[in-house]
Amino acid sequence: MEFNKLQKILWANMLKSTDRYRKGELCYSDFVYGLEGFMDTGEFQDKELIEQWYNFWTPLEILSVTKGDITTIEDADKYLLEMETFLKSKSDYHFNEEE
């Protein structure tokens, strides 16, 4: 599946959100549910991609449910890194360098 223009923007926004959370510009719940909003808005149709994404997102959501906005970067760091790595790997694969 090749990403369309909107999907590329939304995927890039997921990466930017991770960076913004790390910088303290987003509270944890806004970060986590913002990621989900980008995913839903993108209307991605690749079942495997969606499943992989949720596998990385779910631990982040569990922290949101259990700790809420008191979740620290240290609490979430492992999951943040895994999500960032996944997002970057798929953006390299799905983004056409010419666009």
Q: What is the 3-state secondary structure (H, E, C) of 15-40?
A: HHHHHHHHCCCCCHHHHHHHHHHHHH
Please determine, for residue 9, whether its predicted confidence score (pLDDT) is greater than 90.
Answer: yes
> Domain residues of the chain, as ranges?
5-94
pLDDT of residue 96: 53
Residue 8 neighbours by CB distance under 10 Å: 17
Residue 76 neighbours by CB distance under 10 Å: 22
Please determine, for residue 98, whether its predicted confidence score (pLDDT) is greater than 50.
Answer: no
Q: pTM of the full predicted structure?
A: 0.88
Please determine, for residue 97, whether its predicted confidence score (pLDDT) is greater than 80.
Answer: no
Calculate mean pLDDT across residues 54-70.
Answer: 97
pLDDT tens by residue, 16-56: 999 999 999 999 999 999 999 999 999 999 999 999 999 99
pLDDT of residue 94: 60
pLDDT of residue 2: 83
- Computed from CA positions of residues 53, 56, 62, 68, in that sequence, does the dihedral angle turn out positive or negative? negative
